[in-house]
C-alpha cells in the first residue's frame, strides 16, 4: 500500500462520481416502483412521475423539458413517458427511444435531449444525430426536435 492511497479522488476509489451513484440509485428505485405497479395504472402513473420530475426542475430546465414533453407526446403518441435514471424519457414497448437530461442535475452548462439506438435515425450516410445540447427551445429548435421525434418512431 502506498502512502498516497487516501489522496485519490472519489471517482478512482469508488468507481463512480456522486452524480453517477445518485443516478444509479434513482434507476434502481424506478425499477422497484415499476415492479410494484399494476398494468392498468402503470402508464398514467409513469407519466405523472415524469410530470412531477419536470415540475421539480430548475426554471430554465423546466421550460425546456415541458416543451419537449409536449412535442414528444403530440408527435409520437406511441411513446410512453417514463423516468429513466431519474430523468424524463419516452419509450416504445418498454425500451427508451429518447430522453431529456437536466444540465443542473449533471452540473453541466447545458441540458441534453438524446436518442438511443431504439430510435430509427440511423441512415446510410454513416452519420446521424443522437444527442443535442439545449439551453432553450426556440421555434427552429422545436421544429428540428419534432422532425427527429417523428423519424425516430417511423
Per-residue pLDDT of the chain (154 residues; tens, 9 = 90+): 444 444 444 444 557 678 767 777 777 677 667 666 665 578 888 999 999 999 999 999 999 999 999 999 999 999 999 999 999 999 999 999 999 999 998 889 999 999 999 998 998 899 988 999 999 999 999 999 999 999 999 9
Q: Where would I find the beta strands (DSSP E) of 17-121?
A: 80-84, 87-92, 95-101, 111-115
**Distance in angstroms (rounded) separating the CA atoms of residues 45 and 115:** 23
Chain Cα centroid distance, residue 72: 12
Amino acid at each position: 500500500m502506498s502512502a498516497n492511497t487516501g489522496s485519490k479522488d472519489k471517482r478512482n476509489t469508488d468507481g463512480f462520481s456522486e452524480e453517477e451513484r445518485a443516478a444509479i440509485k434513482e434507476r434502481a428505485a424506478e425499477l422497484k416502483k415499476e415492479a410494484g405497479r399494476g398494468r392498468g395504472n402503470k402508464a398514467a402513473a409513469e407519466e405523472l412521475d415524469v410530470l412531477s420530475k419536470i415540475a421539480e426542475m430548475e426554471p430554465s430546465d423546466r421550460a425546456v423539458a415541458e416543451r419537449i414533453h409536449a412535442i414528444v407526446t403530440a408527435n409520437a403518441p406511441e411513446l410512453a413517458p417514463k423516468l429513466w435514471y431519474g430523468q424524463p424519457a419516452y419509450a416504445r414497448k418498454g425500451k427508451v427511444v429518447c430522453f431529456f437530461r437536466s444540465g443542473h442535475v449533471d452540473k453541466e452548462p447545458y441540458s441534453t435531449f438524446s436518442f438511443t439506438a431504439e430510435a430509427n435515425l440511423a441512415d446510410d450516410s454513416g452519420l446521424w444525430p443522437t444527442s443535442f445540447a439545449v439551453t432553450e427551445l426556440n421555434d427552429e429548435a422545436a421544429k428540428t426536435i419534432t422532425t427527429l421525434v417523428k423519424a425516430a418512431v417511423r
